[in-house]
Amino acid sequence: MQKIDLVYPAGIDPKTLTALYRKPHHKANTQISKAILQLHDQQFPSPFPADTQALLNIYNRLLSCKKHPSLDQDIKDFMLFLSSDLNFGSDLRKARLHWLKADMHLDQLPTLRNNGQLPALSQQKKLALDHYLQAYQLLEGIKETQQPVSIDDFTLYKLQQNMLACHLNALHSDKRYTDASLKHYLSHSNFIQSSKRVLHTEPYQWIIARNGLRFSSINKNNQDCDFFYRALIRANHAFKDFNYAPNGAPPIMHSAEFQWAIAQLS
């Protein structure tokens, strides 16, 4: 509580923090959310070089400014800079810049999909996946060689999650969970195993457990469905009720992609 008071002098009632932790349907107000995120960044600082984080911040601010008159051109110029700059520096720096460039390609997928620009959609999806893969391989190399920088399982999971998002965002919502290429990716990627590794060290991550259950259901893997359902309940007993709705997500019972898992678990 003392550390929270330093970033949020008004103070936070311990009961409020307990409710936010124990009840996923509760939502923190803007001030408390900002304080918690600030404290998280202080306690778990990014392992990446400060200049690469600054580039990410600039890009995010650029995206949030929808009325920016030269937004599209500035993003193209940004990507041109990255294409050259990601070849320099340490492997850690290269990994972060590959990640950022992949994010920029990923962000273009919804517009291209909705406009029916299929060749461009396919190209941007491939570029995003290529850069995410390069970032992943660089970070795995850093982790395996036990360099001074710590790369945790959650960081690698986030990269896997973004690669999965490339497949999802290239599809319209009505085809998102039935597409053969998505099922092929789930069967041949490391996403499920990566999710399990994070839950082993961070069992409170109910969102990861819920997503693991969703994609195990899509892939019709009974054993994985059982694993992630148990992990979900371990994270919070409220999820025993398939009609429970956490903050920001519908109940499992109301989501088509979970129905196969529900049938196996009932």
Chain segment 64-74, per-residue pLDDT in tens = 887 888 888 99
Q: Which of 14, 22, 93 lies closest to 54, judged by CA?
A: 93
**Structural domain contains residue 71:** yes
How many domains does one find in the chain? 3
Same domain, yes or no: 103 and 119: yes
Same domain, yes or no: 40 and 76: no
Which residues, including other chains, have CB under 8 Å from residue 63's CB and lie 6 or more apart?
107
**Structural domain contains residue 179:** no
DSSP code for 165: H
Same domain, yes or no: 127 and 53: yes
185-241 pLDDT, tens digit each: 998 999 999 999 999 999 999 999 999 999 999 999 999 999 999 999 999 999 999
Same domain, yes or no: 122 and 75: yes
Same domain, yes or no: 164 and 209: no
Same domain, yes or no: 137 and 218: no
User: Which stretches of the chain are DSSP H helices?
Assistant: 2-7, 14-22, 30-43, 50-64, 71-85, 91-106, 109-114, 118-144, 153-169, 180-188, 191-201, 206-218, 222-235, 259-265
**Structural domain contains residue 182:** no
Locate tokens 């990601």: which residue? 86
Q: Which residues span the domain enclosing 241? A: 198-266
Same domain, yes or no: 104 and 131: yes
Same domain, yes or no: 232 and 125: no
Same domain, yes or no: 2 and 81: no
pLDDT for residue 66: 78
Q: How far apart are CA 196 and CA 203, in angstroms?
A: 9
Same domain, yes or no: 123 and 64: yes
What six digits make up the tokens of 231?
């992990």
pLDDT for residue 25: 55
pLDDT for residue 235: 92
pTM: 0.83
> pLDDT below 70 — which residues of the chain?
1-45, 146, 148
Same domain, yes or no: 148 and 207: no
What six digits make up the tokens of 207?
């969102």
Same domain, yes or no: 22 and 61: no
**Structural domain contains residue 187:** no
Q: How far apart are CA 239 and CA 139, in angstroms?
A: 34
**Structural domain contains residue 192:** no
**Structural domain contains residue 156:** yes
pLDDT for residue 1: 42
pLDDT for residue 27: 58
**Structural domain contains residue 109:** yes
**Structural domain contains residue 74:** yes
Burial (0-12, 13-18, 19+ Cβ within 10 Å), 208: buried
